[in-house]
Structure 1
Amino acid sequence: MKTYLIAALLCAAPAYADTVNGLRTPDEFATIENEAERSSALFGEMMAVIEHPRCMNCHPVDNTPRQGMEMAVHQPPVVRGVADFGAPGMRCSTCHGTENMAFETGEGSIPGHEPWRLAPISMGWIGKSAAEICAQLKDPERNGDRTLAELHEHNAEDGLVGWGWKPGEGREPAPGTQEIFGELTQAWIDTGAACPNS
């Protein structure tokens, strides 16, 4: 009877036992034999982070950041401005400090990091498909002149990217961890950096 229960529990275990905070790890894709298919699947998993509001809010395709899980237009009204740091007299750093600042009430916070800025408009993602975002990430003319190795470093180590997992009181973090996002990025690169078809 005990053996039957253990077997039943094992069969009922989640298919992705190595999922961390909603993000699958690269080893979970090892059974995909075709390398291009595995690469595309890895990028699909990266999209769980890329499409999350913690990332999308700072990757608009226009000049206005978004905020919240609803990706609402930023309040108070602000614009991209000079070098993605806001307009003169209303720079991002006017409100956003070097770290998250908790409200006096203890309910919520103002996000912060040094620097605090929007992604370049060439890396705007809102409303784009996985295939379009993948092409942007691989294109040095749009990704800040980064090689794939530098893109990995950006995803795995950049502090502003990492803020997505430490967004402060009242905000849902991005899925997984920055470490796993970096591992997925490297595995995607190692398998040919293939893009999904859509």
Structure 2
Amino acid sequence: MRRLQKGRHGLAGLARLGTRAAIASMAAMAAMAAAAAMAPPAHAAPEKGALFDPVASVVMTPRCVNCHQAEAPRQKDFAVLHAQQVVRGKNGHGSAVLQCAACHQGTNTAGGKVPGAPNWHLAPLSMRWQGLDKKGVCRQMRDPARNGNRKTGEQVIEHMKTDPLVLWAWQPGASRTLPPMSHEAFVRALEQWAAAGMPCPD
């Protein structure tokens, strides 16, 4: 009789252990499911606005922004006002008494210390980037009213591929800082951005 009772107690103990193990297993599975639901997809696609990031890394460097100013060009990597009190003038080519072409020739001169490219001048006032953040520059680049009347992504890309003033950024002379990527990589980034519809960051 005692053996039978011991056997019953043993079976009951095993049953309790089994129930506890089942409950623990179910709790662990529930926790794993909750964690999986909260985790982002393993291969989540980046936001389309992020496609402008590599473009911005180039166009917002001093090589570009220094000449996309309102009233006067800037110089050097820390954007000091241009020496000789140079100003925009009526058409972006300087004042009547000091035109950009007085110093800036078709190529870099004075051992690269004086930058130069054909038709050296400030960007049109409508294309001013001074004071704009990445989102503002992006919106301007895709707006025909503020990007030189370029109505398609292809036209924006063509400008960036062929304009001598744009190309100068990769041959700035002296010890001026270069853009963070090659011109070829920059064009590829522009093409990806344009193919996605020229989205801008939030």
Distance in 2, Cα, partners of 1:134 & 1:118: 19
CA distance in structure 1 between the aligned counterparts of 2:44 and 2:133, rounded to whole angstroms? 23
User: In structure 1, what residue type is equivalent to 2:161?
Assistant: A
CA contact (8 A) 1:58 1:65 kept: yes
The counterpart of 2:45, out of the listed 10, 28, 33, is 33
Residues 157 and 178 in structure 1, CA contact (< 8 A), matched pair in contact too: no
Cα–Cα, structure 1 residues 32 and 161, in superposed 2: closer, same or farther, change >3 Å?
Answer: farther
Instruction: Return the alpha-carbon distance in structure 2 between the equivalents of residues 32 and 153 of structure 1.
Output: 32
Distance across 2 between alignment mates of 1:32 and 1:76: 52
Q: Which residue does 1:126 correspond to in 2? A: 130
Greater strand content: 1
1:78 and 2:55 aligned: no
* 1:45 equivalenced with 2:54 (yes/no): yes
SS at match of 1:84: coil
Deviation string 1:133-191 (CA, Å, 9 cap, x unpaired) is 11111111111111221101111222210101100012111221222111111110101
Deviation at 1:46, TM superposition (A): 0.9
- CA distance, structure 1, for counterparts of residue 188 and residue 163 of structure 2: 14
Matched, 1:145 2:153: no
Q: 1:32 to 1:66 in 2, by over 3 A?
A: farther
- Structure 2: distance between partners of 1:165 and 1:136: 23
CA displacement at 1:32 relative to structure 2: 5.9
Which amino acid letter does the alignment assign opposite residue 151 of structure 1?
V
**1:193 is the counterpart of 2:198:** yes
Tell me which residue corresponds to 1:4: none
Query: Normalized per residue, which structure has more helix?
Result: 2
Aligned length: 159
Alpha carbons 1:59, 1:126 under 8 Å: kept: yes
SS at 2:174 equivalent: coil
Identity %, equivalent residues:
38
In structure 2, distance between residues paired with 1:116 and 1:165: 15
Q: Which runs of 4+ in 1 moved over 4 A?
A: none
Question: Which residue of the partner structure matches residue 56 of structure 1?
Answer: 65
Choose the corresponding residue for 2:183, options 154, 158, 178. 178
TM-score by length of 1: 0.76
Counterpart CA distance in 1 for 2:175 and 2:110 is 10
Bigger relative CO (Cα 8 Å, ≥ 6 apart): 1
- Name the counterpart of 1:24: none
> Structure 1 residue 136 and structure 2 residue 152: aligned?
no
Tell me if the contact between 1:102 and 1:169 (Cα under 8 Å) persists in the aligned partners.
no
CA distance, structure 1, for counterparts of residue 117 and residue 164 of structure 2: 8
| 1:95 maps to which of 93, 100, 103 | 103
Residue aligning to 1:69: 77
Aligned Cα root-mean-square deviation (Å):
1.5
Distance 1:98 1:139 in 2: 30
State which structure, 1 or 2, has the greater radius of gyration over its C-alpha atoms: 2
Distance 2:71 2:95 in 1: 11
